[in-house]
Chains A and B, each alone.
Chain A
Amino acid sequence: MLRYTINRVLLAIPTLLGVAILVFLMLRIVPGDIVEVKLRGDGGAVSQETIEMERHKLGLDKPLVIQFKDWMVGVATLNFGKSMWTERPVMEEISLRLELSLQVAIMATIFAVLIAIPLGTMAALFRDTWIDYLMRIATIGGISIPAFWFGMLIMSALLAAFNWLPPITFTPIYVDPIANLTQLIWPALAVGYRYCAVTARMIRSSLLEVLNEDYIRTARAKGVYERLVISRHALRNALLPAITVIGLEFTFLIGGLVVTEQVFNLNGIGMLFVQSVSRNDFTLIQGMVMLIAAFYVFVNLLVDLLYAVFDPRIRYW
Chain B
Amino acid sequence: METRRAVLRHVSGALALGMGGLNFATVQARAQTPKRGGTLTFAISAETPHYDPHGSDTYATLHFAAPFYSTLLRFNLSKFPEVEGDLAQSWTVAEDLTSYTFKLRPSLKFHDGTPLTSADVRATYERLRNPPQGVVSTRKATFDDIGTIETPDPTTVIFKMKNLNASMLEHFASPWNIIYSAKDLAENPAGPRTRINGTGPFIFVEHVRGSHVSGRKNESYFKQGLPYLDGWKGVFTLQAAAMLNAVQGGQVLGEFRGISPAERDRLVQAMGDKIRIEESSWTLNLLVCFNVEKKPFDDVRVRRALCMAIDRWGGSQGLSRISTLRAVGGLIRPGSPFATPESELVKLPGFSKDIKKSREEAKKLLAEAGVPNLKFTLHNRNLAMPYTPAGIFLVDQWRQVGVEVEHKQFDTAPYLATMNAGNHEVAIDFSNLFMDDSSLGLAKYLSVTRAPENRSRSNDPELDKLYDDHLRERDVEKRKAMIRAFEKRLFEQAYQQPLLWWHRIVATHKVVMGWKMSPSHNLGQDLAEVWLNT
B-contacting residues of A (Cβ < 8 Å)? Answer: 32-33, 36-46, 49-50, 53-54, 85-87, 93, 96-97, 152, 155, 158-159, 163-165, 167-170, 262-265, 267, 271-272, 275, 278-280
Q: Is A152's CB under 8 angstroms from B233's CB?
A: no
Asked if B238 is at the interface of the complex by the 8 Å CB criterion, the answer is yes
Given A54-B134, A165-B249, A262-B239, also A278-B411 (CB < 8 A): yes
- Min CB gap B422→A, angstroms: 11
Q: Is B420's CB under 8 angstroms from A40's CB?
A: yes
Residue among B242, B411, B421, B453 with max Cβ neighbours from chain A (10 Å): B242
0/1 string, B200-237, CB within 8 A of A gives 1:
00000000111110000000000000000000010101
Could you pull out 27 A-B pairs where Cβ atoms are within 8 angstroms? A33-B417, A33-B421, A42-B50, A42-B58, A42-B413, A43-B420, A44-B57, A44-B138, A45-B453, A50-B134, A54-B134, A87-B194, A97-B210, A155-B245, A163-B248, A163-B249, A164-B249, A165-B250, A262-B239, A262-B242, A263-B242, A265-B238, A265-B242, A267-B209, A271-B210, A271-B238, A278-B410
Find chain A residues with CB under 8 A from B416 CB: 40-43
Q: Is B420's CB under 8 angstroms from A45's CB?
A: yes
The B interface, classified by DSSP as helix, strand, loop or mixed, is: loop
Asked if B400 is at the interface of the complex by the 8 Å CB criterion, the answer is no
Q: Is B246's CB under 8 angstroms from A168's CB?
A: yes
Instruction: List 6 tightest A-B contacts by C-beta distance, closest first.
Output: A43-B57, A45-B452, A165-B249, A41-B413, A278-B411, A40-B420
Q: Is A267's CB under 8 angstroms from B210's CB?
A: yes
Q: Is A42's CB under 8 angstroms from B57's CB?
A: yes
Given A32-B414, A169-B233, also A43-B138 (CB < 8 A): yes
Find chain A residues with CB under 8 A from B194 CB: 87
Cα distance A271–B212 in the bound complex, in angstroms: 14
Cα distance A265–B452 in the bound complex, in angstroms: 35
Q: Which of B383-404 contact A (CB under 8 A)?
A: none
Find chain B residues with CB under 8 A from A37 CB: 413-414, 417
- Min CB gap A113→B, angstroms: 29
Find chain A residues with CB under 8 A from B414 CB: 32, 37, 41, 278-280
Cα distance A155–B420 in the bound complex, in angstroms: 40
Q: Is A272's CB under 8 angstroms from B242's CB?
A: no
B430 nearest CB neighbor, chain A only: A43
Cα distance A252–B410 in the bound complex, in angstroms: 26
- Min CB gap A275→B, angstroms: 7
A274 nearest CB neighbor, chain B only: B411
Find chain B residues with CB under 8 A from A85 CB: 49
Given A39-B136, A42-B58, A169-B235, also A267-B417 (CB < 8 A): no
Q: Is B138's CB under 8 angstroms from A41's CB?
A: no
Cα distance A272–B211 in the bound complex, in angstroms: 11
Find chain A residues with CB under 8 A from B233 CB: 169
0/1 string, B39-79, CB within 8 A of A gives 1:
00000000001100001111011000000000000000000
Asked if B133 is at the interface of the complex by the 8 Å CB criterion, the answer is yes
Cα distance A86–B207 in the bound complex, in angstroms: 12
Find chain A residues with CB under 8 A from B56 CB: 42-44
- Min CB gap A179→B, angstroms: 12
Residue among B208, B417, B452, B453 with max Cβ neighbours from chain A (10 Å): B417
Find chain B residues with CB under 8 A from A163 CB: 248-250
Q: Is A50's CB under 8 angstroms from B413's CB?
A: no
Cα distance A32–B413 in the bound complex, in angstroms: 11
Residue among A43, A97, A163, A168 with max Cβ neighbours from chain B (10 Å): A43
Given A165-B245, A262-B242, A267-B208, also A41-B251 (CB < 8 A): no
Find chain A residues with CB under 8 A from B25 CB: none
Beyond contacts A41-B414, A168-B252: 18 other A-B pairs, Cβ-Cβ < 8 A, are: A37-B413, A40-B416, A41-B49, A42-B56, A42-B57, A42-B60, A44-B420, A46-B420, A50-B133, A96-B208, A155-B245, A158-B249, A159-B245, A165-B246, A168-B246, A170-B211, A262-B242, A265-B239
Q: Which of B86-141 contact A (CB under 8 A)?
A: 133-134, 136, 138, 140
B271 nearest CB neighbor, chain A only: A163
Interface size class of B (residues with CB under 8 A): 35 or more
Given A42-B58, A43-B453, also A265-B246 (CB < 8 A): yes
Cα distance A273–B270 in the bound complex, in angstroms: 34
Asked if B317 is at the interface of the complex by the 8 Å CB criterion, the answer is no
B49 nearest CB neighbor, chain A only: A42
Interchain CB contact (< 8 A) of B412 among A41, A87, A170: A41
Residue among B57, B136, B412 with max Cβ neighbours from chain A (10 Å): B136
A165 nearest CB neighbor, chain B only: B249
Cα distance A86–B49 in the bound complex, in angstroms: 8
Q: Is B57's CB under 8 angstroms from A264's CB?
A: no
Find chain B residues with CB under 8 A from A152 CB: 241
Cα distance A87–B251 in the bound complex, in angstroms: 31
Q: Is A264's CB under 8 angstroms from B242's CB?
A: yes
Q: Is A44's CB under 8 angstroms from B251's CB?
A: no
Cα distance A237–B410 in the bound complex, in angstroms: 50
Find chain B residues with CB under 8 A from A169 CB: 208, 211-212, 233, 235
Given A32-B414, A262-B238, also A40-B421 (CB < 8 A): yes
- Min CB gap A100→B, angstroms: 9
Q: Is A86's CB under 8 angstroms from B235's CB?
A: no
B382 nearest CB neighbor, chain A only: A278
Cα distance A32–B410 in the bound complex, in angstroms: 11
Cα distance A300–B270 in the bound complex, in angstroms: 48
Q: Is A265's CB under 8 angstroms from B237's CB?
A: yes
Find chain B residues with CB under 8 A from A170 CB: 208, 211
Find chain A residues with CB under 8 A from B237 CB: 168, 265
- Min CB gap A83→B, angstroms: 9
Find chain B residues with CB under 8 A from A42 CB: 49-50, 55-58, 60-61, 412-413, 416
Cα distance A54–B50 in the bound complex, in angstroms: 15
Cα distance A50–B136 in the bound complex, in angstroms: 9
Cα distance A41–B420 in the bound complex, in angstroms: 8
A49 nearest CB neighbor, chain B only: B133
A46 nearest CB neighbor, chain B only: B136
Find chain B residues with CB under 8 A from A43 CB: 56-58, 138, 416, 420, 453
Interchain CB contact (< 8 A) of B251 among A33, A50, A54, A167: A167
Q: Which of B1-53 contact A (CB under 8 A)?
A: 49-50
Cα distance A262–B246 in the bound complex, in angstroms: 13
Find chain A residues with CB under 8 A from B57 CB: 42-44
0/1 string, B136-148, CB within 8 A of A gives 1:
1010100000000
Cα distance A87–B56 in the bound complex, in angstroms: 18
B243 nearest CB neighbor, chain A only: A265
A155 nearest CB neighbor, chain B only: B245
Cα distance A256–B319 in the bound complex, in angstroms: 35
Q: Is A168's CB under 8 angstroms from B242's CB?
A: yes
- Min CB gap B427→A, angstroms: 13
- Min CB gap A48→B, angstroms: 10
Q: Is A168's CB under 8 angstroms from B136's CB?
A: no
Cα distance A53–B250 in the bound complex, in angstroms: 46
Q: Is B420's CB under 8 angstroms from A275's CB?
A: no
B419 nearest CB neighbor, chain A only: A40
Cα distance A264–B211 in the bound complex, in angstroms: 12
Find chain B residues with CB under 8 A from A45 CB: 136, 138, 140, 420, 452-453
Find chain A residues with CB under 8 A from B252 CB: 168
